[in-house]
Structure 1
Amino acid sequence: MAIGRKKHLAGSALAIAGAALLVGAVVAQPAAAVGLPHDSVAYFSAGTDLSGRKMPVDIGNTDCQTLPEPALSAVNFTASNIKVYYNHDCRTGLPDKPSDWYYGLGSLSWANFTYPALSYRVVP
């Protein structure tokens, strides 16, 4: 009976070690792929995958902010959430299609946008 138990424990240890390696590889890959920042920061980028001109977000300002140029991606490595709008003046909806739609960029995340982002609001 002791032999069977040793095989079971060894198999479990191998499974746990393999899972840890897999999780580590998956978590590390996106950061390396797009060059995500490692500090508390939030900004919009003119290009996809955080490329192009960077437009910083003032996390302390909860008023509607208009971006200086359309953004195709953003990163939010802060404790706040950011509502992203595809219209000026934080109007909801898709471009030229009124509705209640906006993009929620959560804390500690990044995204490429389907449509160019034109304005945003920080939600503490």
Structure 2
Amino acid sequence: MNRNHRRYTGAAAAVCGAVLAVGAGLAQPAVAQSPGVVFYTGAHQTGEATPVDLTSTGCHNLAAPSASALNYAAVDVDVFFNADCRTGAPGTDSDLSFALGSLHTADFPYQAVSYRVRPMG
């Protein structure tokens, strides 16, 4: 084998290896996320995460106040700034609450302390 032939053979092997590596990376299926709603203690979905039970449509008080949430489920969630799903700004009575729509993220204007999953249908 002459010198040029070895050089071309090496280059061809390198190209084939790169193509196989890229093809193998593209052939991997995406990781499927289970539908869910998650509250976070920090803004922009940071901090401690608290997952939501989507099958329970009653009022739930959060263990820790939440500054943001991620909803990647086919349900809407009513978010409250007072305990026991009471509307109003913190410590007040009014009609203020927050509707976290399906497939949305949110940073809340106040710390969220309770929520209710809206029944589907």
TM-score (norm 2): 0.70
CA distance in 2 between counterparts of 1:41 and 1:62 reads: 14
The percent of aligned pairs where both chains have the same amino acid is 42
Deviations 1:21-66 (A, max 9, x none): xxxxxxxxxxxxxxxx954221100000000000001110001001
User: Are residues 1:73 and 2:68 paired?
Assistant: yes
Which structure shows the higher helix fraction? 1
Q: Which moved more, 1:79-88 or 1:37-46?
A: 37-46
CA distance in 2 between counterparts of 1:77 and 1:49 reads: 15
- Counterpart of 2:58, as a letter, is D
CA distance in 2 between counterparts of 1:101 and 1:38 reads: 32
RMSD between superposed Cα atoms in Å? 1.3
Q: Which of 52, 60, 75 is residue 57 of structure 1 equivalent to?
A: 52
Q: Which of 81, 95, 99 is residue 100 of structure 1 equivalent to?
A: 95
* 1:52 counterpart SS class: strand
CA distance in 2 between counterparts of 1:39 and 1:49 reads: 20
TM-score (norm 1): 0.68
Q: Which of 88, 93, 111 is residue 116 of structure 1 equivalent to?
A: 111
CA distance in 2 between counterparts of 1:50 and 1:77 reads: 13
Structure 1 match to 2:83: 88
* 2:44 counterpart SS class: helix
Please state how far the C-alpha of 1:97 moved relative to its aligned partner.
Answer: 1.8
Larger radius of gyration: 2
